[in-house]
Amino acid sequence: MASVKTTTPRETGSAAVESRPVAIVLFGSPGSGKGTQAKYIVDWLGIPQISTGDMLREHIRGGDAIGQAIQGRMNAGSLVSDELVNQLVFERIHKPDCEHGFILDGYPRTTAQAEAMRRLLAASRAEEVVIHLVVDYNVIISRISGRRVCPKCGTLYNAVSHPPKTEGICDLDGSRLVTRDDDREEVVRERLTQYENQTRPLIDFFRNTTGRLIEVDASGDGPEQVFKCIQAELKDLVRR
């Protein structure tokens, strides 16, 4: 069964909790299941998911100036500049559907991004909740190297944990599944190295500064069980 550890360095009054929008930060290495858990939370709380990876890939597909600038870095497993990522996130969370809260998936990834995010959340009076999905390194390699995606609808599959009904074919629209360039094993290893060097230190940052930090062991249990653990920890949010 998944284990959960919660850290709350500072107390937050109930009146403030009920009146402030919530900013849920899904934090974890590539392949930890952030995207899957974000979709569960979207359905549960009715707030939008903001995925920096999805936004960046959308620019690449569109072929605009931003997409051309970042395509090579993403395909090599390198991180995009803090300034660009901050700009995209800040623009997105000011849209009307984020009025009552939002889920940040894949952001922040550096201390500089986290500090910029903290300033923005303070200005908007949003309550920050960090969910750290902890997954063993070898499990991550296995998950991502077996991952396939539908190029039409974006549905994710995995050869071991979530295979399609027909090998290589999307269950929903019949499209042939593909491997994303940034899911190739050599790229995954580079992404994990980047994560350990630049993003892992954020855990200490969150422990010392955030209002609520929840750490979930997401290595062995299925995504449904991991979500149940998250629900139990965040059950107060449904009263907003």
Q: Is 57 a catalytic residue?
A: no
Q: Which residue among the candidates 109, 143, 148, 212 is catalytic per the annotation?
A: 109
Rounded to whole angstroms, the Cα distance separating 34 from 201 reads 18
Q: Which long-range contacts (CB under 8 A, 24 or more apart) does 53-56 make?
A: 53/105, 53/106, 55/88, 55/92, 56/80, 56/85, 56/88
Distance in angstroms (rounded) separating the CA atoms of residues 44 and 131: 15
DSSP state of 178: B
Short-list 154, 43, 57, CA closest to 103: 43
Rounded to whole angstroms, the Cα distance separating 139 from 17 reads: 36
Q: Catalytic residue, from 20, 92, 147, 148: name it.
A: 147
Paired tokens of 26: 């899904």
**How far, in Å, CA of 190 to CA of 86, rounded?**
22
Whether 119 is catalytic: no
Which residue of the set 92, 143, 191, 212 is catalytic?
A: 191
Active-site residue (options: 34, 57, 92, 148): 34
Q: Does the active-site annotation cover 228?
A: no
- Catalytic residue status for 73: no
Given the residues 118, 180, 189, 240, select the one marked as catalytic. Answer: 180
Catalytic residue status for 5: no
- Alpha-carbon distance of 201 to 157, in angstroms, equals 30
Collect all residues with Cβ–Cβ distance below 8 Å to 112 and sequence separation of at least 6: 82
CB-based contact 22:126 (threshold 8 Å) = yes
Which residues are catalytic, by number? Answer: 34, 109, 147, 180, 191
